[in-house]
């Protein structure tokens, strides 16, 4: 056995060699590569604060509702639109999308429950994110602001006071049907209410009807968006949308 003096001289060298072993392994190992040939992500100017990104379709900029069917029924003032007379529907259809919309319930509180600041954002005309004055206003939980109507309550109530502007940022994945009309994949929605996640990739169980359980019926891959008139003077502004690529890409087949 080496003398203690020799061991003391060898110890620093052994310590250095032990430290280098993992590094050598890292250099010898090959880098993992998926083998997928991705397209280069395009450059998109996010725009200044409180403005839509460069690749967004602006559906309402505060000046007119020319991109909506029925828009002539609503009143436009001070860069916002006030519901009246009936709902409005986009002239263009959309599928998977990111939708930004700002709304405000009437400042004067009248009514209660579903009769207070009620409206709705209907994706593809049939999947509703509820708009409601839910600030200190009791109603059924799957019908309050930020709910996927009659299906999922919001995870939290992020409502501001009546009359204050509120924001929805909705990421929507449309359902998929096969050529025979059978459901291949349900719709999903993620909703941020005033910057707070209230729906986290929630699965829609079908359309959001008031008088019956949800159900799916095959429909086109792109359909218009509707905003509801429910008798209350709800205001809307700054509405824009971005079309999204499929959330699940088509991977190349695996070679066995």
Dihedral sign, CA of 80, 118, 215, 188? positive
Q: Using the 8-state DSSP alphabet, how is residue 136 labeled?
A: T
Domains of the chain: 57-243 (2.60.120.560)
Distance CA 192, CA 239 (A): 15
Q: Which two tokens stand for residue 237?
A: 């502004």
Q: What confidence tier does 9 reach under pLDDT thresholds 50, 70, 90?
A: low
Compute the average pLDDT of residues 88-110: 97
Reply yes or no on whether the pLDDT at 171 is more than 70: yes
Give the tens place of pLDDT for each residue, 202-248.
999 999 998 999 999 999 999 999 999 999 999 999 999 999 987 65
pLDDT at residue 12 in the model: 57
- b (16+ CB within 10 A) / e for 223-254: bbbbbbbeebbbbbbbbbbbeeeeeeeeeeee
Q: What confidence tier does 254 reach under pLDDT thresholds 50, 70, 90?
A: very low
pTM for the model: 0.82
Give the tens place of pLDDT for each residue, 10-43.
455 555 555 555 555 555 579 888 888 888 887 8
Let me know: does 162 contact 106? Beta carbons within 8 Å: yes
């Amino acid at each position: 056995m080496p003398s203690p003096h020799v061991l003391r001289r060898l110890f620093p060298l052994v310590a250095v060699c032990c430290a280098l072993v993992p590094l050598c392994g890292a250099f010898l190992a090959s880098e993992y590569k998926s083998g997928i040939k991705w397209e280069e992500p395009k450059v998109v100017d996010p725009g200044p604060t409180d403005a839509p990104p460069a690749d967004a379709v602006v559906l309402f900029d505060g000046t007119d509702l020319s991109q909506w069917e029925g828009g002539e029924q609503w009143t436009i003032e001070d860069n916002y639109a006030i519901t009246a007379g009936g709902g409005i529907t986009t002239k263009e259809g959309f599928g998977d999308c990111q939708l930004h919309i700002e709304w405000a319930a009437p400042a004067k509180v009248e009514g209660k429950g579903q009769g207070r600041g009620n409206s709705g954002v209907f994706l593809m005309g049939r999947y509703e994110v509820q708009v409601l004055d839910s600030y200190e206003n009791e109603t059924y939980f799957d019908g309050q602001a930020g709910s996927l109507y009659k299906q999922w309550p919001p995870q939290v109530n992020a409502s501001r006071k009546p009359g204050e502007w509120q924001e929805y940022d909705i990421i929507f994945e449309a359902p998929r049907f096969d050529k025979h009309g059978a459901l291949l994949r349900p719709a999903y929605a993620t909703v941020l209410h005033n910057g707070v996640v209230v729906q986290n990739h929630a699965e829609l169980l079908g359309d959001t009807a008031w008088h019956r359980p949800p159900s799916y019926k095959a429909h086109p891959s792109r359909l218009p968006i509707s905003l509801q008139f429910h008798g209350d003077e709800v205001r809307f502004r700054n509405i824009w949308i971005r079309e999204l690529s499929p959330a699940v890409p088509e991977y190349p087949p695996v070679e066995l």
